[in-house]
Structure 1
Amino acid sequence: MVSAKIELHVHLEGAIRPATLLEIARRNGEVLPADTVEGLEALYRFTDFRHFLSVWRMTTNCLRTADDFRRVVVDYAREAHGHGAVYLEAIFSPAERVESHAIDWDEMFTGYTEGAVEARERFGLTVRFTPDLYRGCPVELAEECARVSVRYRDRGVVGLGIGGDERRTPLAPYGKAVRIAREGGVAFVPHAGEAGGPEQIREALEFGAVRLRHGIRAADDPALLAELADRGVVLDVSVTSNLCTGVVGDIAAHPLPRLRAAGVLCSVNTDDPAMFGTDLGREHALAARLGVSADDAYAAGLAGALCEGEVLTRLRAVASTS
């Protein structure tokens, strides 16, 4: 029997399997840096974190239409459901699409949220959304993204995040965007402590982060570890991602055992599964090798989930019967 899983950190653009990405790109007249499945898979052999970000920008801008956005939700929901997922908080990057190709906000948000409706109908899987800004994003664009995210709160947008190279761009310029989101009932869930260190984690907490995407570098600071454990801040850990981008040298060096030993709650996630050649089942197997059981992972996912009401009640019921 496949155990029930909650995934809180998966980028939908990075979950598109290569054959599908090529199909979408060709239909939309977009030229990718590789034109075969094998070529894309070779492109996904990253040398370091900045190389990953560069490839991300080159390959994820082929989505154009509401149907494209709907499809990537449904496709990943089908895959995750096959590994036992009952709840997803999925990430997409709307500001990049607006900036690079002037795609309409509503085209994107409607497509994604309609995909969530279809995923629920077809697979019984609940999908909520946490759109991402990126460090370096024009401030006005970030603030508009926050406003649109609030406008779609009743259609499943529960969080606003920010990604990119945290070592190069601070959060300070995005303070207003974060306030707009939080005042509109949309939580702040940034990437922090991935390529950066404890100082970036503290910065994110000062900005009101309720959960951290990655956060693994907290293991370098015992006082910060204790604070995260005391506050019950959930870290969304993605082991394969950390290995592929080179922020962790090898699995034996991964901080996950130290995080758990300190009492920090760690959910288990794929991040960009198509780009990293992984899936939700594989990530749970790796986490188990590092001391995080299926029950531990589900409990952390439940603690970090931003859903409410009937959905939260249902997820708790799943935990009580597993």
Structure 2
Amino acid sequence: MTTKKIELHVHLEGSIQPRTLLEIARRNHEPLPVDTVEGLAELYRFTDFRHFIEVWVMTTNCLRTADDFRQVVVDYARQAAGQGAVYLEGIFSPAERVEADGIGWDEIFTGYCEGAVEAEEHFGVTVRLTPDLYRGCPVDLAEECARVAVRYRDRGVVGLGIGGDERRGPLAPYGKAVRIAQDGGLAFVPHAGETAGPESIREALDLGAVRLRHGIRAVEDPQLLAEIVDRSVVLDVCPTSNVRTGVVRDLSEHPLPRLREAGALCSINTDDPAMFGTDLNREHDVAAGLGLDASAAYAAGLAGALCDDAVRARLLP
């Protein structure tokens, strides 16, 4: 019997299987630097985190239409449900599509929201959505994105995040965008403690983060880690991702065991599964090898989920 799983951290654009990505690029007449599955596999050999971001932007720019965005959700939900997923929080990056390609906000949000509905109807997996800003995003665009996200709250949008390379700059310029989202009933779920250390985590918590995407570098500051544990802030841990982007040198050095030993709640996630050559089963196997079993991962996922009470009651083990 497949073990039930909750995933809180998957970038939907990074979940597109190579063959599908090539098909989407061709139908939208958006050339990629490679035109074969083997070529994409080679492209996905990242040298460091910055190289990963460059490739991510390059490849995801082929997405153009509401149907593209809908397909991305449905395809990943099918795969994840087959591996036991009962609840997903999917990340997507609308501001990048608007800024780079001039795609309309509603085209993007409608596609993802319709995909979430279809995913539940066909595969029984509940999908909620958490659009991401990115460090370096123009502030006015970030604030507009937050307003649009609030408009889609009744269609499955439950949070607002900020991703990208933490070393590009602080979160402070996006304080108003975060407040717009929070005032509109959305949770703030930023990336922090991935490419930067405890100071990045502290900044995210001070802005009202209710969960941390990654957060693994909290182990560098025992006092901060103790606070995370005391506040029951869930860390969305993505072991393979951390190795593939060079954040952690080797799985044997991953801080997950130390986080768990301190009492931190750690959900287990794929991050960008197609780009990192992983899936939910593999990540749970990796986590088990690092001392986190499936029941603890599920409990952390449930604790961190941004769903309503009715969904939460349905997800109880």
Distance 1:140 1:9 in 2: 26
Percent of residue pairs bearing the same amino acid type = 77
SS of aligned partner of 1:128: strand
Matches within 5 A, 1:148-297: 148-297=148-297
Query: C-alpha deviations, 1:101-148, integer Å up to 9, x for none?
Result: 110111111111101111111011100000000000000100000000
Query: C-alpha deviations, 1:35-86, integer Å up to 9, x for none?
Result: 1110011010101111101111111111111111100000000000011000
SS of aligned partner of 1:205: helix
Query: C-alpha deviations, 1:148-202, integer Å up to 9, x for none?
Result: 0000000000000001111221001100000000000000000000010000000
Distance 1:265 1:195 in 2: 20
Gaps spanning 5+ residues in structure 2: where?
none
Matches within 5 A, 1:1-322: 1-316=1-316, 319=317
Distance 1:238 1:181 in 2: 25
SS of aligned partner of 1:285: helix
Q: CA deviation at 1:309?
A: 2.5
Q: CA deviation at 1:312?
A: 1.0
Measured on the aligned residues, the alpha-carbon RMSD in Å equals: 0.5
Distance 2:67 2:124 in 1: 21
Give me the TM-score of the superposition, normalised by structure 2: 0.99
Q: CA deviation at 1:33?
A: 1.5
Residue type of the alignment partner of 2:189 = V
Distance 1:285 1:113 in 2: 31
Distance 2:171 2:310 in 1: 34
Q: CA deviation at 1:315?
A: 0.7
Gaps spanning 5+ residues in structure 1: where?
none
SS of aligned partner of 1:130: strand
Aligned length, in residue pairs:
317
SS of aligned partner of 2:166: coil
Distance 1:195 1:31 in 2: 30
Residue type of the alignment partner of 1:204 = A
Residue type of the alignment partner of 1:143 = E
SS of aligned partner of 1:131: strand
Distance 1:251 1:68 in 2: 34
Give me the TM-score of the superposition, normalised by structure 1: 0.98
SS of aligned partner of 1:167: helix
Query: C-alpha deviations, 1:204-258, integer Å up to 9, x for none?
Result: 0000000000000001111111110000000000000000000000011000000
Residue type of the alignment partner of 1:278 = T
Residue type of the alignment partner of 1:144 = E
